[in-house]
Amino acid sequence: MPTLNECKRFFYVAGLIGLILCFAPNFVRVLDSQPEEQFSELYVLGEGQPPMAENYPFNVSAVGSYYVVLGIVNHMGVSMYYSVDVKFRNESESLPNGDVASPLSALYDYRVFLTNGQAREDTLAFSFQDVLTNGSISCSVGEMHLNDTLVQLNKTALWDNENKGFYYQLFIELWAYNDTQRGLIYNDRFVGRWLNMT
């Protein structure tokens, strides 16, 4: 026959095992609920239905109209207010560097409010005017239409002997509202597409 101490020990061990089994699902939830990585997603897709990461415009001229799809996804865990800034550069002008935006002025921008997990895609249509080439020395682009907005460029690219063309880059920066700074700050996200002005 078990002694009183042995019975007490049995009930303590059984009670402890019961508590562990009862609270085990909660422990798993606590361990499994580590915060997710917070980030904002920015991407560019080419023409097509549905838009895909192909069929991007590359060889462009003054006689065509071109399209890309810009996408933003909010993975920040809270609602966010974004600005999408479209910029255009030749091969010698600066891209963003780390958390510092490009010093080039935005030619076109639009703003969007996204809840956590929400995505948005918008078409960016563009075409060029006043394109002048100087043989195989330089190419000058005077104006650009961005979604029916005419902007002055006055950008010149030199002939690239290695890649055989006049190269420009259309790039997009993502800015987000920062409560602490009470304004839009560069979100360390940009995407771009090289264009050969033929």
Q: What are the tokens at 82?
A: 């974004």
Name residue 129's amino acid. Q
Total-model pTM:
0.79
DSSP 8-class letter at 186: E
Q: What is the pLDDT of residue 12?
A: 62
Distance of CA 126 to the CA centre of its chain: 19
Closest Cα partner for 195 from 170, 175, 178, 173? 170
Do the Cβ atoms of 66 and 54 come closer than 8 Å? no
List phi, psi (to 5°) of 8: -60, -45
Residue pLDDT, tens place only, 33-73? 555 789 999 999 998 777 787 889 999 999 999 999 999 99
Task: Please tell me the distance from the alpha carbon of residue 163 to that of residue 58, in angstroms, as a whole number.
Answer: 13
